[in-house]
Structure 1
């Protein structure tokens, strides 16, 4: 999928972008603005870090590193440009995220399309040794009508590539409460691919029930086959969940 590259313009130049007056989204460590690439007129999203906290710097660095990989997968949001000091980066401007598209996800075919898109992104990421560890509706973006996965700042690099394992210490919760797998409150560094599928199960439960998940409590829809899918994906024991995208797709075959 072509997201509108920024041409041959020099990269890593903050002055190349004109930011909108109001942010699209704000968090504790970063904010996202609609922006224009001056040389090409391309509309993009400009994410800038608001603190020099060491964890915030590391998180944005991970986002940039993974977004540059993108692994040739249409369902992973690419990074188009970035600061060499990891204080901002540029990505395609999304139409909305899953939170904004929630009414449309009540349609089974729409929800199925989103879930399978996330499976495709996870298959590519897991195949390269990366975990996301923070899947939630706000991190699923619709780009040109295609669902994509964004915000890999809590991601775990491939084994052996981690820059500082002490950043994710046992007993320190990592992720978003309710969507994160239970083991991410115990030792997030030792989480496996099944943790991402737990989160995907909770996203389905969120879309089907209209409720926000609580920690350690699976959101089970009333209707089948969604109830069975969510129940399988949100087992407390990581080994009892789908272990890869192929197994998750098998659960989805009856939708």
Structure 2
């Protein structure tokens, strides 16, 4: 990483970091300027935790590169566009389109629960992104409000494929490591079973529940108790979901094979988002489920 007289940092001799867009425990997303193409971009920096063994640091950077690879495989207007993977300081930096707006998590924090039609419209766009990803052999594995961006022009964008699993790739996790946000994990993943597209559909169901109810359904005081609730507890009935309730309940069936299929769920969400009525109660034929994407267990 090079410096400039003005104090701004330049990544890989090309991407000038301008200001942070967001920061978490694992790194920072920057607003930056591509000095070659003269456009603003978002650059994702990941910082390895202090004291992490070198083998785990390398594994983290490999996962970051795979995020770019996974997202770049999915060409869809609801999926963030990845432009480049730059290498600087011995680590990768993901260069993406700059989405001007806020995350769904920010919106919920600022405005509180959404009305069901608005949540349905957002959910339909997220599901379109997931269907495109699944069609490309990519499982997202961390669908949550913080990873859904709402652009100023009305576009809904699914981002952060950093823990995505790609068909045919090897796992990059340690034994016993929980990958993803616990309260959005599907029961089969909490039990260590092989995930499939239905696991992302469960996470979407939790997202929709949280969007209309104000809290995710299985959140407990600790990650372990949250995972136990996901596996063992019944879904608390949604009270604010209205006509959206059957879709949420269909996505949050414990058995992946019994979940609302993606195509049917998207159709229902678009109807509800446009102001239509509730779907019929028996929306999922016995045994109906989305096509399975091959993925190796962690």
TM-score for the superposition, normalised by structure 2: 0.71
**Paired residue for 1:36?**
33
Q: Distance in 1 between matches of 2:135 and 2:148?
A: 20
Contact 1:225 1:254 in 2 (8 A): no
Q: Distance in 1 between matches of 2:125 and 2:188?
A: 25
The answer to whether residue 95 in structure 2 is matched with residue 90 in structure 1 is yes
Q: Distance in 2 between matches of 1:135 and 1:56?
A: 19
Is the partner of 1:165 in helix, strand or coil?
coil
Contact 2:116 2:243 in 1 (8 A): no
The answer to whether residue 132 in structure 2 is matched with residue 115 in structure 1 is no
Pair 91,206 (structure 1): closer, same or farther in 2 beyond 3 Å: same
Contact 1:174 1:184 in 2 (8 A): no
Contact 1:45 1:92 in 2 (8 A): yes
- Please give the residue correspondences for 1:203-214 in structure 2 after superposition, counting only pairs within 5 Å: 203-213=207-217, 214=219
TM-score for the superposition, normalised by structure 1: 0.82
Deviant stretches of 4+, over 6 Å: none
Of Structure 1 and Structure 2, the greater strand share is in 2
**Paired residue for 1:26?**
23
Q: Deviations over 1:88-126 (max 9, x none)?
A: 011122211111222387133332221111111111111
Deviation at 1:80, TM superposition (A): 1.4
Structure with max Cα Rg: 2
**Paired residue for 1:200?**
204
Q: Distance in 2 between matches of 1:105 and 1:186?
A: 30
Select which of 175, 178, 182 maps to 1:173: 178
Q: Distance in 1 between matches of 2:236 and 2:18?
A: 37
Pair 29,208 (structure 1): closer, same or farther in 2 beyond 3 Å: same
Let me know the Cα RMSD of the aligned residues.
2.5
Pair 43,110 (structure 1): closer, same or farther in 2 beyond 3 Å: farther
Is the partner of 2:61 in helix, strand or coil?
helix
Gaps of 5+ in 2: 1-9, 49-53, 220-225, 273-298
Gaps of 5+ in 1: 1-11
Q: Deviations over 1:191-217 (max 9, x none)?
A: 111110111011111110111441316
